[in-house]
Amino acid sequence: MNLSMQENPAKNELNGSEAMSDAERTLRLIAALPAPEGLEERVKAGLRVAPRQAKVMLWPFLPMEGRRWMQRAATAAIVLVIAGGGWGVYSHIQPAPLPTAVSAPQPLNGGGGFNAAVARRVPQTLQGPVVSTPALTTEKGASGKSDGTVRKHGKRSGGKKSVEAAPTVR
């Protein structure tokens, strides 16, 4: 479209304005079309039979004053029924008795403090016989100092029993 318009702008502008006036003429012609005969009367007739306003309930057999009184009574009855029903439900609900003391949950493994997320479970085993490891003795030279009986830090291995049981390491 634009390419064709760029060929001869003056001519195309003229053509464009001609086309434009053509289009506007058409639109104006349609906008000025006469309305069909009796349109107003048909619209008025339609309005006469149309419901005036939306109603929840309609009592066609009651006169105007009776209708209003009945409407108010019905409204009051509906409100009473709804309120009564609500009260009935409310009054029948028994709230759970509040506990006097709250029991604390038992801690795992009987311990308190920090949690035992990384604790290692130790199996409960019977106490077996204790095997005492023999103390090792070393000779520290040929000076005869090592009599094999008492060493400086040999508190644990002190005594006759350990001396007798200890094998000599050479």
Partner 1 sequence: MEIVESAVHDEARQHAEEEALGALVDQYATTLYRVAFSVLRNQSDAEDAVQEAFLRVLRHRETLGEIRDHRVWLIRIVWNIVLDRKRRSKTRPETDDIADLTRVLPANGLNAEDRAAAAQHHNHVLGCIEKLPAREREVMMLSAFQELSSVEIAEVLGVTESSVRSRLFRARNLLAELLHHKRSIR
- Which of residues 68 and 161 has its CB atom nearest to partner 1 in the complex? 68
Rounded Cα distance between 162 and 170, Å, is 18
**C-alpha pair distances (Å), 103 with each of 96, 97, 106:** 17, 15, 9
CB 113 within 8 A of CB 105: no
Is position 52 an interface residue for partner 1 (rule: CB under 8 A)?
yes
Among 6, 10, 37, 50, binds partner 1 (CB under 8 A): 50
Among 6, 10, 29, 57, binds partner 1 (CB under 8 A): 29
Q: At closest approach, how far in Å is the CB of 79 from partner 1?
A: 23
Is position 70 an interface residue for partner 1 (rule: CB under 8 A)?
no
DSSP notation for 1-51: -HHHHHH-HHHHHHHHHHHHHHHHHHHHHHHTPPPPTTHHHHHHHHHHHS-
Q: Which stretch binds partner 1 (CB under 8 A): 27-35, 75-83, 109-117, 124-132?
A: 27-35
Residues at the interface with partner 1 (CB under 8 A): 1-2, 4-5, 12, 15-17, 19-20, 22-24, 26-36, 39-40, 42-44, 46-47, 50, 52-54, 64-65, 68
